[in-house]
Amino acid sequence: MTVAALMVVVSMWWRDVVREGTFLGEHTQVERKAFWVSFILFVCTEVMFFVSLFWAFFHSALAPAVELGCVYPPVGILPVPIIGSPLVMTGLLVGSGVLANWSLHAVKGNEDNACEVMLLALMMSVFFSYYQAMEYYEASFTIRDSVYGSVFFFNYSFSRHSCDWWDCFFISSSFTYV
């Protein structure tokens, strides 16, 4: 309930920002710069947060605990193969980022395809979410299965949360192009 309320409030706020900036032209140069700086700070916090999550993964993989038999992944864990859905998901994430940048440059160049390209980025993000859900449900381990399971599912849950916010950003950006 709280998450739904937060999403409603955020989408209403973004709707107002789009109206004020696109249709009314009321954003000053200072406000535009503030939007840009806040976006850059958001991206930086995302990067640092995921660096810490991958640090946990590499720490446990490169220096496995004695309690786990000094092997990684721990005995009994069937890891997710790197060739397959993780490779496809990486391609989808990179592709959606490329398309989002293409859309930004299309807007700056007054091209007509900015909205379509942003919607393609959103579609790639939705496909990423689908593959991620498949990986989640098909995993042969749980969050209780040693450090491997806990780091995997912790990374998964925050990656899922991050993708939800990026999807909201893609949707709100698409509205500005219409």
Q: Are 96 and 127 in contact (CB under 8 A)?
A: no
pLDDT at residue 137 tops 80: yes
pLDDT digits (tens, 9 = 90+) for 57-116: 888 889 888 877 888 888 888 888 888 888 998 899 899 989 988 988 887 787 778 888
Backbone dihedral region for residue 156 (phi beyond 0: left; psi -120 to 50: alpha; all else: beta): alpha
Q: Which CATH number covers residue 88?
A: 1.20.120.80
Whether the model clears a pTM of 0.75, i.e. scores above it, the answer is no
Dist CA 59 CA 112 (whole Å):
47
Burial zone of 58 (CB within 10 Å; 0-12 exposed, 13-18 middle, 19+ buried): exposed
Count of domains observed in the chain: 1
Structural domain boundaries enclosing 110: 2-177
